[in-house]
A and B are shown apart, each in its own frame.
Chain A
């Protein structure tokens, strides 16, 4: 089976500081994968390379067999850690924007989810609470029928109910032709939802196993293993 995401020898340095070093991995379709590591470990660097925000100094990335570029961006749905919509736009305008630029955007899905959240389409983004803003972004990103979903810290600073909503949305949108990559350091929240986990330590791939394997082999949760591996 052709791997959906293929990274070979990815490297990037920020002067003396290491971003990524010779990272290689292959992720098949139909998986929900956790990219775990402490802040500054290289998770965000990896994700930026997958969505085309960063060009590696060495190595290559193939998404669905194609190198990162306009074509791959059309099948990758990226949710950054920070808000990326202009404050001045209304929710309806943001929905229009996604529909305009992404052929795989499902308007009805987005509208349905936004209505469930009780959000007024005429409201400006600036008028929303931080939590609602993040939910809107998530709804739009998950309403695309993409092949790769990259969620960078989707649950940071969000209340438990919102976290449940996020996980439920991810599960509901699950599709065996697509894969979801979740980068996070809040592992216990997501563990049940993950197929596999990737540990990134100091820019290198430290581990790539399925959650079941970890629990069976080590008799502990991924969260516990993580604390061990990354103990200071």
Chain B
């Protein structure tokens, strides 16, 4: 469960993406209590203020919520968290297609490639 950061995009954005990923994959379950800001910051190796900023933004987006003295929690399963998975799927596919395009592959070419790969997988299974 490591945190990997690139150095040309603001950290808080990358942290937000990292957390969204964990929520979308179910790594951080709905309703799960988060460790403290400091603990998260130490784990990720980032400045606590930066971590705080990311968490505050996610609260604003409704993916996290804070209960007065109890701490921060992942939002309960609802449209927002489910919409998150959709959002991530979209961004993964877009990234894939962008990469394909840079190699000269159109959407059709990419689809054909995926078909071939899927068939190969099936054959391996036999």
Contact = CB atoms under 8 A, between A and B. Distances in A.
* Chain A directly contacts chain B within the complex, with at least one CB pair under 8 Å: yes
A31 to B, nearest CB: 7
A126 interface: no
Contacts of B18: none
Describe A's contact surface by its main secondary structure.
helix
Given A31-B49, A174-B48, A212-B50, A192 B42 contact: no
Interface stretch (B8-16, B20-28, B62-70, B107-115): B8-16
Contacts of A216: 10
Interface residues of A, number: 25
Most buried by A among B11, B47, B48, B49: B47
Contact of B47 (A195, A215, A219): A195
B8 A221 contact: yes
A149 to B, nearest CB: 14
Interface size class of B (residues with CB under 8 A): 10 to 19
B41 interface: yes
B38 interface: yes
A27 to B, nearest CB: 14
B122 to A, nearest CB: 43
B105 interface: no
A167 B41 CA distance: 11
A188 B50 CA distance: 17
Contact of A193 (B7, B12, B38, B46): B46
Interface of B: 5, 7-12, 38, 41-42, 44-50
Interface of A: 30-32, 164, 167-168, 171-172, 174, 188, 191-195, 211-212, 215-216, 219-224
6 contacts: A171-B45, A192-B47, A195-B49, A211-B11, A212-B50, A220-B7
Given A192-B47, A193-B47, A220-B8, 11 more contacts: A31-B49, A167-B45, A172-B38, A174-B38, A192-B44, A195-B47, A195-B49, A211-B47, A212-B10, A215-B7, A216-B10
